[in-house]
Amino acid sequence: MKPYIAYSKQELTFELENVKSLYKIYSDLRLSLDLTRGKPSPEQLDLSNDMLKLSPNETLTMDGVDVRNYGVLGGLPSTKALFASLLQVEPQNIFVGGNASLQLMYDLIAKAYTHGLANSHQPWSKEKTVKFLCPSPGYDRHFHLSLSFSMELIPIRMNADGPDIEQIREHISDPTVKGIWCVPKFSNPDGITYSTQVCEALSSLRPAADDFVLMWDNAYCVHPVYCDETIPNILELCEKNGNPDMPYMFMSTSKVTFAGNGISAVASSERNIEYLKKLTGYQTIGYSKVNEYLHVRFLKDRENVLSHMQRHADILRPKFDIVLDSLKREIEPLNIAEWRRPNGGYFVSFYAMPHTASRIVALCREVGLKLTPAGATYPYNTDPMDSNIRIAPSYPSVEELKMAMEVFCVCTRYATLEKLLDLQ
């Protein structure tokens, strides 16, 4: 094997015929494989089955509260303490939500539109234009959430140490730029952990908008696969740098216990938490305290959560190995794509030769391998280079994943060869 770039036109044509016959074999297998979403596997979910097992006559009481009844909006003291230890903030900085942190993020933005945030001069619905910074590639649901409110999305380049600070600084002098989406640790999809310098710079921004929000989606805060990485406490940094109300940190236990039945939290300044609690008081009498109870009883404390996450990592690691080994074996020698070996999180972010990602995804789909649509990781579903493909290895079995990666590599070669011949 030599790099495709060194192939003659004849060699390329011949290789494409080879690859097409391989592709035909997969096509005949009538596969049904799925690498689309960052979903835990059943084996990972099994790790938390004991959470639902109650001892006979167990009283459903915590912190002196009957968790079955109404009340206690914003979290039981024990739940706040658990999240505070995981996010390394104080319990008074925590607001506990329902089964998904996405809902907390949506509701915060929705409240910004209907009521305004603590530092807003008026609700965002009264603004002619609202713009949001989107480090890209990023999490599609963040972008779709923003778009559903008709925000204008501004892509920000992702560097190896986090979003490009210079680009961010250029935009925040515009008062209609109201915030930025960040996944600061094991980012979706690149698996990048923001450096201390980037966090320091973000916390020191001087945005023209007084109610600029740092949406700090710490989705993978306790989710190493190969080894852990650390980020600074953004609440502390922002406070130190004169932006105490700017950051909102989000996390959930969706990828700790049950994806569909976790508990979520947002951490922010006491002022923001009080304001959020007041507004949420019109929306609900309280989220599920039964679920808080089950979680706190099962997860106990930070140390126990970290060991529990090691068991997740033990299941995820062989799957990441399959993806990375396949790419190293099948693609690296051809020098036709790039990717990062993440230390944690849920994804491998693959950069195909420019203008081939959509074709790769389409080729995969035709033989029964579903991938996240090309472009999904960019605002407006538009990857300017049509290059990035997010590979989510967690859900399939090891056998399915091996087959899926074989298919993926063949389709990558297929599309690349087509493109190279096209360019000749």
Q: Taking the complex as a whole, how short is the minimal distance between the CB of residue 308 and a second copy, in angstroms?
A: 15
Q: Which one of the spans 22-30, 110-118, 152-160, 231-239 is the region binding a second copy (CB under 8 A)?
A: 110-118
Helix (H) or strand (E) holding 66: strand 65-66
Q: Answer positive or negative: Cα dihedral of 316, 320, 321, 326.
A: positive
Binding string, residues 252-271; x marks residues near a second copy by CB under 8 A: --x---xxxx----------
Based on the shown chain and the rule CB under 8 A, indicate whether residue 237 belongs to the binding site for a second copy: no
Q: Which one of the spans 106-114, 155-163, 188-196, 338-346 is the region binding a second copy (CB under 8 A)?
A: 106-114
Among 23, 40, 238, 403, binds a second copy (CB under 8 A): 40
Rounded to an integer, what distance in angstroms lies between the CA atom of residue 123 and that of residue 113? 5
Among 5, 25, 29, 290, binds a second copy (CB under 8 A): 290
Based on the shown chain and the rule CB under 8 A, indicate whether residue 144 belongs to the binding site for a second copy: yes
Listing DSSP states for 208-261 in one string gives: SSTT-EEEEE-TTTT-BSSS------HHHHHHHTT-TTSEEEEEESTTTS-TTS
Nearer to a second copy by Cβ, of 5 and 290: the residue is 290
> Residue 146: which residues within 8 A CB-CB, separation 6 or more?
109, 132, 134, 153, 181
Nearer to a second copy by Cβ, of 149 and 351: the residue is 149
Nearer to a second copy by Cβ, of 129 and 197: the residue is 129
Based on the shown chain and the rule CB under 8 A, indicate whether residue 279 belongs to the binding site for a second copy: yes
- DSSP E strand stretches across 345-408: 348-352, 369-370, 388-391
Among 129, 196, 284, 304, binds a second copy (CB under 8 A): 284
Omega of the bond leading into 189 within 30 degrees of 0 (cis)? yes
Nearer to a second copy by Cβ, of 371 and 410: the residue is 371
Among 15, 107, 217, 245, binds a second copy (CB under 8 A): 107
Side chain identity at 228, as an amino acid letter?
D
Binding string, residues 112-131; x marks residues near a second copy by CB under 8 A: -xxx-------x-xx-----
Nearer to a second copy by Cβ, of 140 and 245: the residue is 140
Among 77, 106, 171, 321, binds a second copy (CB under 8 A): 106
Nearer to a second copy by Cβ, of 67 and 225: the residue is 67
Rounded to an integer, what distance in angstroms lies between the CA atom of residue 336 and that of residue 412? 9
Based on the shown chain and the rule CB under 8 A, indicate whether residue 16 belongs to the binding site for a second copy: no
Site size toward a second copy (CB under 8 A) is 53
Rounded to an integer, what distance in angstroms lies between the CA atom of residue 290 and that of residue 52? 10
User: Which structure tokens are listed for 297?
Assistant: 């009883």
Based on the shown chain and the rule CB under 8 A, indicate whether residue 204 belongs to the binding site for a second copy: no
Rounded to an integer, what distance in angstroms lies between the CA atom of residue 365 and that of residue 374? 12
Based on the shown chain and the rule CB under 8 A, indicate whether residue 54 belongs to the binding site for a second copy: yes
CB-side neighbour CA atoms (13 Å) of 191: 23
Neighbouring C-beta atoms of residue 152, cutoff 10 Å: 14
Helix (H) or strand (E) holding 131: strand 131-136
Q: Taking the complex as a whole, how short is the minimal distance between the CB of residue 347 and a second copy, in angstroms?
A: 15
- Pair 393, 320: CB distance under 8 Å: yes
Q: Taking the complex as a whole, how short is the minimal distance between the CB of residue 12 and a second copy, in angstroms?
A: 42
Positions that interact with a second copy (CB under 8 A): 37, 39-40, 42, 45, 48-49, 52-54, 60, 66-72, 98-100, 102-103, 106-107, 110, 113-115, 123, 125-126, 141, 144-145, 148-149, 254, 258-261, 279, 282-291
